Amino acid sequence: MMTSPLRRIATAVLVFALASTTGLAPAVSQVTEEDVEQARVLRETAAAERVAAIENLDQAVAAYEDVRGELEALTFSVGRLRGRIDDYQGATFDLRLEVRERAVQSYMNGDERDPVARVFAPETVQQSIIARQVLSLAVESESEQIDSLAAATAEMARLQVTLDADSARLSDLKAEADAIVDRMDELYETAEFVFDEVDQDYVEVKAERQEQLRREAEERRLRALQQAALQSPAAGVDEEVTPGFICPVGGPSWFLNTWGAPRSGGRTHKGVDMMGPRGTPLVAVSSGIVRKSYGSLGGNIVWLYADHGVNYFYAHLDSYPSGLVDGQWVSKGQLVGYMGDTGNPRPGANHLHFGIYPGGITAVNPYPTVERVCP
C-alpha cells in the first residue's frame, strides 16, 4: 500500500517532535501544542475524507449490486439460449434425416401418385427425370416437415444473434463488476487504513504531549523541592527529590552523620563517609550518565548525572569496573566502582565519600537519604 500524503505529513510531525532533546537527561521528545494541533487537524481532515469515502463506497456497493443483478439475470438468459439452440440443433438434425429418408424412399419405391412410375419401369426412364420427379413429389408431400425445418433453422439463427449480443454484454458486465470491486477496495483503504493511521498518530502525539506536560510539572515540583532543600542543606532532601534511590554501597558499610565536620584547609565535610572493606562494590543509585575523573583530594571519582536531575558524587574509589567508559549511560544498580582509599585519606581508611547535589547546584546532607535505605 502506498503511503498517503496525510500519513507522510503526520509522520514528519512526529519525526520533528522526536528529534528534540534537552539537558543531561536522556533524549526525550519535545511535542508542542502546535504539533498536537497539527495532528488534530490532520485527523479531522482524514475523518472528513473517510466520511466521503464511505459515501462513495456505499454508492459503489449499490452500483455493484445492480451490475451483479443484471449479470446474474443475463447469465441465466445465456444459459437458456444455449439450451434452446441445442434443442433446435437436435430438432433440425432429426428433420433433415427424416426429409432425406423419405426422399430416398420415394426415389427407390416410386409414389402411387406418380404417373411416370406407374407406366414405365424404372430402368427404362432416365435417372435424371425420375430423380426430379421424385424430389418434386417429396417436397409436395412433406411440405410440413420442410416448413418446420425452415422455421427451426430461422429461430436458431435468431437465437444465435441474441446469444452473441448477450455474451458480449456479459463480458462487459464482468469487466464492469471487476472495476467496481477494485474501486471498492480503494475506497475502503481510504476510508479505513488512512484514517486509522492518522488517528493513531494523533493519539500518540497527544499522549506524548500529555506525558511531556506531566514530566515538566514533575520537574518543576522537584526543582521547588531542591530549592527548598538548599535553604537548609544540613537537613538533607525529601525522598521525592531522589526517586527510587538505592544504597550506593553494594556490601557491608557503616557511617555517621558527619555533615559540616571540619576538614583540612578550612573546609567542612559536604558528604557522608561510608566505611567498608577495600574492593566493596559501589553501584549507581539511579540511572544516568557517568563521568570519571581524578583529583588530589577525591582520588578516583565518579559523577553520576541521574535522569531525574540530581547529581551524585562518589570519591576515593580503588578502581573502576572493566568496560565502564566516560559518558556512558548506566542503569540503576549497575556497578560503577570499588571502595578504596585513593586521594587524601590515610592509607587503609577505605571508604566511599558520597555526596548529593540537587540540580547540580550545591551539596546537601546525604546522611538522611542513605540512612533510609542502607542497612
The verdict on 50 and 168 lying in the same domain is: yes
Last residue of a domain, one of 212, 247, 282: 212
Residue 106 resides in a domain: yes
**CB distance 337 to 314 below 8 Å:** yes
Pairing of strands 272-275, 329-330: unpaired
The verdict on 252 and 324 lying in the same domain is: yes
SS3 314: strand
Query: For the chain, what is the domain count?
Result: 2
The verdict on 185 and 252 lying in the same domain is: no
Beta bridge partners of 268: 262
The verdict on 253 and 124 lying in the same domain is: no
The model's pTM is 0.48
The verdict on 184 and 282 lying in the same domain is: no
| CA gap 210, 202 in Å, rounded | 12
Residue 202 resides in a domain: yes
Last residue of a domain, one of 212, 247, 281: 212
Q: By residue range, what is the domain housing residue 103?
A: 5-212
What CATH code is carried by the domain that includes residue 313?
Answer: 2.70.70.10
How far, in Å, are 48, 54, 222, 283 from residue 61 at the CA level?
20, 10, 60, 67
Residue by residue, pLDDT tens for the chain (375 residues) are 334 444 444 444 443 333 333 333 344 457 788 888 887 887 777 777 767 666 666 666 676 676 667 667 767 776 776 777 777 677 667 666 766 666 666 656 655 444 544 444 444 445 555 455 555 555 554 556 566 666 767 776 777 777 777 777 767 777 777 777 777 677 666 666 677 777 787 788 888 888 888 888 877 777 777 676 667 889 998 888 899 999 999 999 999 999 999 988 889 999 999 999 999 999 999 999 999 999 999 999 999 999 988 999 999 999 999 999 999 999 999 999 999 999 999 999 999 999 999 877 789 999 999 999 998
The verdict on 292 and 362 lying in the same domain is: yes
